[in-house]
Amino acid sequence: MKRLLLVLVLIVVAISGCTEKAPSGTNQSAGDLKTLAVKSAENLSSYSLQSSVNQILKLNAAGANATSEKVTTITESAETVASVNLSSFQAMASGSTKSVVEQPGQPANSSSTQADVYQIGNSTYVKDESGNWTHLKDPRSAEEIWGEGNNNQVEALADTINQSQVENVGSETVDGVDTYKLKILTGKGDYENLYNTAFSIAAKLTQYPMLMPSVNSTELNETAKMEKLIWISKDTYLPKKYQSSLSFDMTPEIVGGIDPNTGKMRMFNQSVRLGVVSVSIETTDLYSNFNKPVYITPPVEALEAAPISPTPIQATSPV
């Protein structure tokens, strides 16, 4: 995940009220809907978002002794509720994450985090687990930070749809809103994201950069299943819901590690093959409150925090 909201947006897993209708009820082509979605997203003044992500890793033991009883399961989830006032350069998000590790013969080990974030102009206020506030002051102006659609995730989503091949697969009523249901067809960029996601997970599991992982792209492409769906309002052509799912298997290998004598990466003569890792990732975004009044004010404790600005790096003249 590039802009502020892509960092803030974590998750909410509560979706209800979806009633499917026959595809024959649609009267707009996929091409027309892409154009209308982009046009509608350009002039937004505000919106709200509920976002959820759920990732499940199943780590199989390597070697001939590997059995289903020896599988370790890691479940990571996140939930975020966010409001954005684009016209006033304001945003806020409240998010939480939870991680659960289940190992054979041991009690489950869980941990969680909570954070509140406000962005007002060029100031970002973050509340940590201890209840303390940090005020980060960006040296750039608010106009520079928020300009050209920054923090407008609705416009970013519309642009993604416009640049993709989509299929109109019918109509649905989502939370009382009549929508067109579109399927975003898998493209080259999705396979690039697939590899990046797999490598990122392998790097985390092997504690990179202490150990250098490698993943087989052929195995990824053969086992991957990807689906992306979006529901667009028939009245406003703004998104009501976005949903994606990704699953794949990979067998990471460790191909190198940090040499303790030199502190540099050293490639191994023979790689170390790990067990099969099964991955499942699901995300859901729900959009609402388009162009409605929204007032975002950080708590007094946040406003009282001393601002922290990055220290400029002075360029040195060549000798």
Which amino acid is located at 3 in the chain?
Answer: R
Yes or no: domain 4-308 corresponds to CATH 3.30.530.20: no
Question: Rounded to two decimals, what is the model's pTM?
Answer: 0.84
pLDDT at 225 over 90: yes
Each residue's pLDDT tens digit, 133-176: 999 999 999 999 998 888 899 999 999 999 999 999 999 999 99
Question: For residues 2-19, b (16+ Cβ closer than 10 Å) or e, as one string?
Answer: ebbbeebbbbbeeeeeee
- Give the bridge partners for 20, in sequence order: 172
Examine the pLDDT at 22 and tell me if it is beyond 80: no
- Residue 51's beta-bridge partner residues? 80, 285
Largest CA-CA distance found in the chain, in angstroms, rounded: 74
Distance of CA 213 to the CA centre of its chain: 23
Would you list the domain boundaries of the chain? 4-308
Q: Which residues contact 313 (CB under 8 A, 6 or more apart)?
A: none
| CA 82 centroid distance within chain | 14
Stretch 86-95: mean pLDDT? 96
Q: Report residue 316's pLDDT band, with 50, 70 and 90 as the boundaries.
A: very low
Residue count of the chain, please give it. Answer: 319
Provide the pLDDT confidence category of residue 18 given band limits of 50, 70 and 90: very low
CA distance 244 to 169: 15
Residue 228 makes CB contacts below 8 A (sequence gap 6+) with: 183, 184, 186, 242, 243, 244
Q: What is the pLDDT of residue 10?
A: 33
127: alpha, beta or left, given left = phi > 0 and alpha = psi -120 to 50? beta
Neighbouring CB atoms inside 10 A of 68's CB total 8
**pLDDT averaged over every residue in the chain:** 88
- Residues 105-120, mean pLDDT to the nearest whole number: 95
Helix (H), strand (E) at residue 133:
strand 133-137
